[in-house]
Structure 1
């Protein structure tokens, strides 16, 4: 591009909006499309990132407030060596516990290999007494919320960015086709001599 402007030609900012007899209507339209696409990309991405982060943080804080640990008892002995032992020798086994309202519950929890029946195991339950995973700590929740927010923000920002690029590409192809048509009409006239 520098070869066409010359070695020291100054760059003209906002040239598509300036009054110029050579400016085509498509130049101004393209400038507006670029402006809108970038504004939607930036604002949409940032707002979505912030809203998604806040939503995830609130949901995880609600889990920390509503879920609680309960002491459960192992139903049966767990063999010392099992074929499915992994993750620091932890296996799934049946446990039972009594909820705060006095109702009995049963489920499966991760327990150490070789634990005898009746061993106390800490499990986490929700308000309905159902087994749930341990809620994340506040720092884990912040990290998870930030990652989800960034992923959502980038995903939403990509839509207007890609859309703007596609519209600009189509406008460029159309402009080139119009130039070809004009050249087909004007090009043969250049070979004629006047005089």
Structure 2
């Protein structure tokens, strides 16, 4: 096993008569790829997290709870079952009126057994269309952080992979040059011993 000395920081940029041009190029590639990877990951992550935060805040500001009334009876979800859950829900058609006076209908999940005319709370957007309930601020922050982190990792992967491929190509080129030199000098070396 070969003995290796202590790790020397910034060895690629130190003077050395045995250092080849390929070593210098690889040093700059490693530095550039490292900086690009960190920069792309951080910027993409921050931008995506900010966008998600703003989008979810806009939803919380625009979406409103509205009282809708059941128009068709909900089928009994317990028919033929032995064990009945107290929070069983089924799909029902409901109707609601928006601020401009127009009437909308849609299907939502309501408690099983709700009768026609029962009021249920639904969430609507500014046009009166059904939407889900908005994400609470705590969950919105978590979601924005998670999506931003994943986007940052994905964006950082691009320069990292490109740098990996470039270094592999430089290594192949260096090994080819080494083989060429060895083919030229190898026979002379044997005569000296």
TM-score (norm 2): 0.91
**Do the aligned residues in 1 keep the contact of 2:40 with 2:156 (CA within 8 Å)?**
yes
Q: CA separation in 1, counterparts of 2:48 and 2:163? A: 24
Q: CA separation in 1, counterparts of 2:13 and 2:140? A: 47
Cα deviation, 1:127-186, whole Å, max 9, x if unaligned, reads 111111111000111111111001100000111111111111111111111111111111
Query: What residue in structure 1 maps to residue 172 of structure 2?
Result: 173
Query: What residue in structure 1 maps to residue 146 of structure 2?
Result: 147
Equivalent pairs counted in the alignment come to 188
The alignment status of 1:27 with 2:23, answered yes or no, reads yes
Tell me the CA shift for residue 11 of structure 1: 2.3
Any residues of structure 2 matched to 1:37-186 within 5 Å, and which? 37-81=33-77, 88-186=87-185
Q: CA separation in 1, counterparts of 2:26 and 2:192? A: 38
Instruction: Assess, with a 3 A threshold, how the Cα gap between structure 1 residues 99 and 143 changes in structure 2: closer, same or farther.
Output: same
| Consecutive aligned runs of 4 or more in structure 1 exceeding 6 Å deviation | none
Q: CA separation in 2, counterparts of 1:81 and 1:63? A: 33
Q: CA separation in 2, counterparts of 1:18 and 1:134? A: 61
Calculate the aligned-residue CA RMSD, in Å: 1.9
Q: CA separation in 2, counterparts of 1:181 and 1:166? A: 23
Cα deviation, 1:39-91, whole Å, max 9, x if unaligned, reads 011111111111111110011000000010100001111122269xx9x5222
Cα deviation, 1:14-48, whole Å, max 9, x if unaligned, reads 11112221111111110111011110111111111
TM-score (norm 1): 0.90
